[in-house]
């Protein structure tokens, strides 16, 4: 009876798999935050576009005062600042996403290295077991042959 295969670095492999799972979660959170940031930027751009369209005086027959025009322009300027802030935040979220992607890639590579080592060791164990089994069968065959010769 052959001893079952035991991978000596299984605990390390489990830790690396856990690290990879955590990196996947961080990447998912970063991706989600980036998508929210992108939606915020689109919303800010839509509000700015709407405000710019409304800031243009129309020929409705109602005269606009200078104060109303200045107020509209201040609102458009504030929306531009909001859009610029959202774009700046999106750049930060992009950088965070790239960092979490790199961390995930590194964690995956570390775990895969141990998985490959485990597979090689398992294959070496299997081959060694087959050699031992073959040697044992050869020994049994030789003993049976020797008994038959002695009996004859």
Secondary structure class of 18 (helix, strand, coil): helix
- What whole-number distance in Å separates Cα of residue 45 and Cα of residue 39? 10
Predicted structure pTM score: 0.74
pLDDT at residue 61 is higher than 70:
no
8 A C-beta contact, residue 33 and residue 40? no
pLDDT at residue 128 is higher than 90:
yes
Domain ranges of the chain: 10-57+65-151
Mean pLDDT, the chain, whole residue set: 92
Nearest to 79 by CA among 45, 129, 110, 42: 45
Q: What is the pLDDT of residue 60?
A: 60
**In the CATH hierarchy, which top-level class contains the domain 10-57+65-151?**
mainly alpha
Q: What is the pLDDT of residue 107?
A: 97
Encode pLDDT of 104-125 as tens digits. Answer: 999 999 999 999 999 999 999 9
């Amino acid at each position: 009876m052959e001893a079952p295969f035991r991978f000596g670095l299984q605990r390390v492999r489990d830790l690396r798999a856990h690290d990879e799972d955590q990196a996947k979660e961080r990447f998912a959170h970063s991706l989600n935050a980036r998508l929210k940031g992108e939606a915020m930027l689109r919303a800010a751009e839509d509000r700015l576009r709407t405000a710019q369209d409304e800031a243009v005086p129309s020929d409705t027959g109602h005269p606009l005062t200078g104060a109303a025009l200045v107020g509209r322009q201040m609102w458009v300027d504030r929306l531009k600042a909001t859009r610029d802030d959202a774009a700046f935040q999106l750049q930060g979220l992009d950088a965070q996403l790239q960092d979490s992607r790199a961390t995930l890639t590194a964690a995956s590579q570390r775990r895969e290295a141990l998985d490959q080592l485990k597979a090689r060791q398992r294959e070496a164990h299997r081959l060694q077991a087959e050699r031992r089994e073959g040697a044992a069968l050869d020994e049994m065959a030789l003993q049976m042959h020797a008994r038959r010769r002695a009996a004859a």
